[in-house]
A = this chain, B = another copy of it.
Amino acid sequence: MTPRKLEIFQTALSLMKSKGYANTTMRDIASAVNMEAASLYNHIASKEDLLAITCFDLADQFEKGILEVNDIYFDAKEKLRMAIEAHTQILTTNLDASYVFIHEWRHLSADKLNEFKHRRNQYENGFIEILKLGENEGVFNEVDEKFVVITILSTLNATIEWYKPNGAFTPKQVANKLSDFILNGLLNIKN
């Protein structure tokens, strides 16, 4: 990844974050990096590559995170906190890419779309494993795992809608807020 290619990716992701994939043209991206649209093709193969490489690179990171958590022996509560922290770390350190990943993946072409969905399913299964462990331990409430895992991931992904890299919270602090919310809920324990 040459510096110029990196610049193109970062610029493209930033544009796609604010305007969406479909509304971001190659000419938009080109003019944002001061070149002609045709010149982009010296660096990337196609517009879809920008999306696909971004999506699958992040998918790699997410998978690596959940696999590491599930490879280690810990109780479910601790595992869930670790998985949440890993997820949050990736989101907050790749804000634009994460935004595109979460909102624009359905613009992938058919075969890549299938692969993407399959890998997302596997990732969800990693969380379901933790939930089941917690239920066996008696630590988590018995839940509809599919419902809960979608809910948890939506909760985590909401981070990209408000997080500012130089704002009040470190990624670790965000992860703790999210873990507390997911584990304890909104109610004050006294009540």
| Chain A interfacial positions (CB closer than 8 Å to B) | 19-23, 77, 80, 103, 106-107, 131, 134, 138-141, 143-144, 146-148, 150-151, 153-155, 157-158, 161-162, 177-178, 181-188, 190-191
Contacts and interface: CB of A to CB of B under 8 A. Distances in A.
Contacts of A151: 155, 158, 178, 181
Given A154-B154, A154-B157, A154-B161, A181 B148 contact: yes
Contacts of A181: 148, 151, 185
Contact of A187 (B23, B141, B188): B141
- The secondary structure that dominates the A interface is helix
A141 to B, nearest CB: 5
11 contacts: A19-B106, A23-B107, A80-B186, A140-B187, A141-B186, A150-B162, A151-B158, A154-B157, A154-B158, A154-B161, A155-B155
Contact of A188 (B21, B139, B161): B139
A139 B187 contact: yes
